[in-house]
């Protein structure tokens, strides 16, 4: 039962972060397309997409469900499953006219660009963190010999 609540708390945290990020992106698109307001169903769809993103992050990037899977395959799993779920939400809530091929291209391009930007940001963060820890370890090794 403890493990269940740990998973729930982790999903809740990721949903909150995803919702905040999604609302920033949504506000940007409202501004670009000069929309003055957002409907309640649209806001609910963003929340639903955030719940899907948070849940998929836990499924794809923890060892709870996918054990010993390489990071690259975890990225592919997240991309494909979340992409399919997000597409379903987009069509179901009318984010764009489904009969318009250009809208599909725009949706796909936006999804790819946002996914790539978030992936690059995470990669940069972890590389910088790794360097910081390497520097601390080097300092420790150098100063350990002085004692």
pLDDT for 129? 81
Detail the DSSP E strand segments found in the chain.
Answer: none
Domain boundaries, the chain: 1-95, 99-147
Show pLDDT as tens, one digit a residue, over the chain (147 residues): 888 888 899 999 999 999 998 899 889 988 999 988 888 999 999 999 999 999 999 999 888 888 888 888 999 999 999 999 999 999 999 999 999 999 999 999 999 998 999 899 988 988 888 777 777 777 877 787 665
Query: Which tokens go with 8?
Result: 């729930």
DSSP for 31-74, written as a single string: HHTT-----HHHHHHHHHHHHHHHHHHHHHHSTTTSTT--HHHH
């Amino acid at each position: 039962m403890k493990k269940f609540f740990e998973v729930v708390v982790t999903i809740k945290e990721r949903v909150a972060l995803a919702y905040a990020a999604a609302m920033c992106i949504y506000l940007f698109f409202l501004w670009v397309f000069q929309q003055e307001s957002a409907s309640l169903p649209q806001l609910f769809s963003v929340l639903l997409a955030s719940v899907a993103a948070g849940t998929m992050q836990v499924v794809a990037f923890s060892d709870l469900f996918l054990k010993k899977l390489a990071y690259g395959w975890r990225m592919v799993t997240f991309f494909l499953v979340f992409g399919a779920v997000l597409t379903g939400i987009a069509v179901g809530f009318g984010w764009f006219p489904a009969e318009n091929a250009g809208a599909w291209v725009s949706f796909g391009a936006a999804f790819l660009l946002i996914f790539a930007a978030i992936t690059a940001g995470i990669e940069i963060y972890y590389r910088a963190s790794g360097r910081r820890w390497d520097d601390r370890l080097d300092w420790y090794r150098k100063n350990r010999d002085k004692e």
